[in-house]
Amino acid sequence: MSTDAKKNTSGLGARRASLNILSSVLRNNQTLDNAITNAFLKANLDERDAGFARAIASETLRRFGTLESLIGKFVRKPPMPHKAGPTLEILLAGACELLFLKTAPHAAVDAANRLAQEDSKAVHFKPLINAVLRRLTREGEAVLESLDSVNAAMPDWMWERVSSHYGEEIARAIAEVHLKRPPLDLVFKTDDDPLMLLLEGERLAPGCVRLAEAGKIEALPGFSEGRWWVQDFAASLPAQMLGKVNGEQVIDLCAAPGGKTAQLASKGANVKAVDISKERMDIVRRNFARLNLSAEMIVVDARDWRPEVAAPFVFLDAPCTATGTIRRHPELPWIKTAADINAQESLQRELFDSAADMTACGGTLVYAVCSLEPEEGIEQVEAFLARSPNFVREPLRPDEVPDAAFISAAGDLRTLPHHWAAKGGMDGFYAARLRCCV
């Protein structure tokens, strides 16, 4: 077997895994992270092939709207899964390889044909797959230039909502950031760790470094010593709204995966971390063991739990649609619908009220969501204040954030994905600081 043939054969395993990932996401609404984990458990890939599979799946989902429109130019009616199996996924991944990953055309087309040959349904569509991908090698770039890739970065329901709430110009700016692979942000346990100067990255704020290219996280300097954790820059801002917490009791609700918990513990807070999921809390425990940090971890539904004594600081990172995190979770626009936005409204309200019960007189409560949706952010806060006269909003001051653009008209935190776009953007977060005044 020739060297090229061996490379193609080994690459087939990666492509097979990426196909399983895409089918799990697009057909079964799995999250990308879960789909990758499950596919890799079955695939037994080496590090290089695992990286290739991840790149194909992630970039295909990041460019899904564009790829779907592109394929629609050559296939009048998409093949139905019950008849065609993974034919559409093969086409999407093949087109992504050709036009965005810049794979050698012969390798991408040959692999797509092999994948079709392996499936009892897709094999009947092998001529179609071959013809479409070969046309894309010749005509794909020209057709791509004719498409509005920015508009296609969101499904219609999401585009309409973002445009309505933020304006079309900002909607396009957000979509443009969604189309780019995000950098990696590291938050250090101490703001003056000298390792920050050695890493080839950009210091966004004290204790936060952004790396454009990181490679394997576990191989980065300082990982095994527990000197930092991975956390998007915007995600690090809400916990800072609590102010000085050294030596203070802090209740962190819906704590997993634990980035904000680590922030609070590293600042010297006595943290009670509460989360309903044992599996997710186990991840927090493992991270804390690596970081050599401590917190009391409680696995329980926060609506059913109360501390023995109310706390001076309570932080609620409420479950939400997570539409502010699409940069890092490109599958979200395609597995969510507009109906999902109101699905957790009652849960958010109940958790909000529970958090208020845990807040001591004169204490601070911060409510946060990684969402772009007003229903999950400011509307929840306004409704809470209307039914809770013993709480008042405590607006952010300009000196509390690195950019005044992060403060909303109401004085709340409101980051958007296109903020600091030249630096790589950030997640969309909303957070409000409230004080118990009774």
CB of 261 within 8 A of CB of 235?
no
Distance from C-alpha of 287 to C-alpha of 26, rounded to nearest angstrom:
31
Report which DSSP code applies to 410: T
- Given the residues 208, 320, 370, 436, select the one marked as catalytic: 370
Angle CA 297–30–42, to nearest 5: 90
CA distance to 116, 312, 423, per residue, from 54 (Å): 20, 43, 24
Distance from C-alpha of 206 to C-alpha of 414, rounded to nearest angstrom:
20
Distance from C-alpha of 61 to C-alpha of 334, rounded to nearest angstrom:
8
Helix (H) or strand (E) holding 433: strand 430-436
CB of 56 within 8 A of CB of 101?
yes
Burial class (CB in 10 A: 0-12, 13-18, 19+), 44: exposed
* Catalytic residue status for 437: no
Helix (H) or strand (E) holding 385: helix 378-387
Report which DSSP code applies to 362: E
Helix (H) or strand (E) holding 92: helix 87-99
Catalytic residues: 370
